Amino acid sequence: MSAMRFGFAGLGQMGGPMAANIVAAGFDLSVFDKAGTADRAPDGAKPLESLDALAAVVDTLFLSLPDGPVTLAVARDLAALQDRAVSVVIDLSTIGLEAAKEAGQILADAGIQYIDAPVSGGQSGAIAGTITVMWGGPAEVLEIHRDVIMAIAKNLFHVGDQAGHGQTVKLLNNFLSGTAMAATSEAVAFGLSQGIEMKSLLDVVNVSTGRNTATSDKFPNRVLTGSYDAGFKTKLLTKDVGLFLDNAKAAGTPTAVAETVVDLWRRCDAALPDSDFTRIYEFLTEKDPDQ
């Protein structure tokens, strides 16, 4: 493991901190980001000028990319390279089932193992190294990479052997998170309308059956304080719940709640572009015009 050479492509809000934690754990890491590697590379990493250069010098390449089309473009570029050392791609992005399956097939045809391994925990978890990784790929590949994965994660779950398995768990998780944030916003607004202080109602809920991640973290630490700094963009949560809805429809599973939740998040994203997703509370309490 110590002799393996690792690469990281995508040094944004999540990728940058994860790459920094890999370096801090003592692993050899080369990095590239299309938006500017020199400015984004963590201390101790080796910045490279292109994806081609990265693929030529690493054994395992981590990806942290914004969406399915970008991941598929990268997969095609990697598959087309003649001069490459990379043999395993671990995709930490949230891209949906079909994109993961397609990326897996593109890379398999080129002799590269693709691992569908999305993460949860937000930017704060990425910085702290406490994210959850949902591994969709062979168990033996996971064991080879366990040490480097645990440099970025507190929880590592092998959820299945195939590309798409990781995405399935990530999408249902983010759907539940987005639903909890929206529902808690409405519940808190109701409580405040009756003269109950936000802290008081949260204290009760957090030792009762309505407790969720919004009541236990987002509201006391991000909304009540007025910081709205969970580190996850509304547009990304909107993308994820939309992917959940699309994939649930394709699977033929119930979508009644998802239809409402996705519509709400899309309207919030349109009204509050580039916002932190905790600001859905402001969107709802400032009277959504379509309600």
CB atoms near residue 160 (< 10 Å): 18
CB 278 within 8 A of CB 218: yes
Q: How confident is the model at residue 289 (pLDDT cuts 50, 70, 90)?
A: very low
In this structure, the answer to whether residues 115 and 253 fall within a common structural domain is no
**Residue 110 to residue 189: CA distance in whole angstroms:** 53
Q: What is the DSSP letter of 277?
A: G
Domain holding 134, by residue range, is: 6-162
Coil, strand or helix at 44? coil
Last residue of a domain, one of 136, 162, 188: 162
In this structure, the answer to whether residues 87 and 18 fall within a common structural domain is yes
In this structure, the answer to whether residues 98 and 145 fall within a common structural domain is yes
In this structure, the answer to whether residues 39 and 117 fall within a common structural domain is yes
For 244-276, the pLDDT digits (tens) are 999 999 999 999 999 999 999 999 999 999 999
In this structure, the answer to whether residues 53 and 179 fall within a common structural domain is no
Last residue of a domain, one of 145, 162, 179: 162
For 210-251, the pLDDT digits (tens) are 999 999 999 999 999 999 999 899 999 999 999 999 999 999
User: What's the pLDDT score for residue 231?
Assistant: 86
Higher pLDDT, 80 or 289: 80
In this structure, the answer to whether residues 99 and 11 fall within a common structural domain is yes
- CATH code of the domain in which 184 resides: 1.10.1040.10
Active site residues: 170
Alpha helix (H) residue ranges in 114-271: 122-128, 139-149, 165-193, 198-205, 213, 234-251, 256-271
Burial of residue 61, with CB atoms counted within 10 A of its CB: 0-12 exposed, 13-18 middle, 19 or more buried: buried
Instruction: For residue 108, give the H/E element and its range.
Output: helix 97-109
Total count of domains within the chain: 2
In this structure, the answer to whether residues 28 and 109 fall within a common structural domain is yes
In this structure, the answer to whether residues 66 and 21 fall within a common structural domain is yes
Quick check: is 1 in a domain? no
For 116-160, the pLDDT digits (tens) are 999 999 888 999 999 999 999 999 999 999 999 999 999 999 999
- CATH code of the domain in which 33 resides: 3.40.50.720
